[in-house]
Structure 1
Amino acid sequence: MADLAAPLRVSPFIRFSRWSLLLAGIAYGAIRHGSLSRKEAAIREVETKQKAIRDAKLAEEKKRLAKLELDDLAKMAGVPPEP
C-alpha cells in the first residue's frame, strides 16, 4: 500500500466561508420550501373545489349516457322506451 501524505491545513477563513455558505444554503432552502408549500396548498385547495364540480358534471353525463344506451337497447329489443 502507498503511504498517504498528511492532509493540508485549511485556512480558518476558508473553513468559516464553507460553513457559512452551507448554513446560508440550508436557511435559503428552508425558506424556499415554506414558500413553495404555501403556494402548492393554495393550488390544491382550488383543485379540490374544481374536482367537486367536475365530478358532479361527469356523474350527470354518465347518467345521461346510460339512459341513452338503455333507450337504444330498448329500441333494438322492440320495447317502448321509458319516458
Structure 2
Amino acid sequence: MSAPALPAPVNVSPLIRFGRWGLLSAGILYGMFHQNRLSKKETAFREIEGKQKVIRDAQLAAEKKLASEREMKNLEDMMTTKK
C-alpha cells in the first residue's frame, strides 16, 4: 500500500505572500510596542504597591499590638473578677 500521490503545490501570488509577511511583521511590531507599554505601566504599579505595603504593614502591626493589649487586659479582668 503506497500513499496516494499528492498534487503539485500551487504557486502563491506575490501580493498574497507580501500581505502575509507584512501582516506578520506588523503583528510582531504591535506586540513589542504593546508589551513595552504594559511593562512600564506594571513597573509604576509595583512601585506604588511597594510604598503602600510599607504603610499597610505598619498599620497592621499597630492594630495587632492594640488587639493584643486589649486581649491581655480582658484576661487580667477575667482573672481578677474570679475569686
Partners of 1:7 and 1:58 lie apart in 2 by 70
Q: TM-score, normalised by structure 2?
A: 0.87
Residue number in structure 1 paired with 2:37: 35
1:53 to 39, 42, 55: 55
Task: Find runs of 4+ consecutive structure 1 residues off by over 6 angstroms.
Answer: none
The gaps in structure 2 that reach 5 residues or longer are none
**What RMSD in Å do the two structures reach over aligned CA positions?**
1.3
Aligned pairs, number:
79
- What is the distance in 1 between the residues matched to 2:7 and 2:23? 28
Query: Equivalent of 2:25, from 14, 23, 26?
Result: 23
Question: Which fold has the larger relative contact order, with Cα–Cα distance below 8 Å and residues 6 or more apart in sequence?
Answer: 1
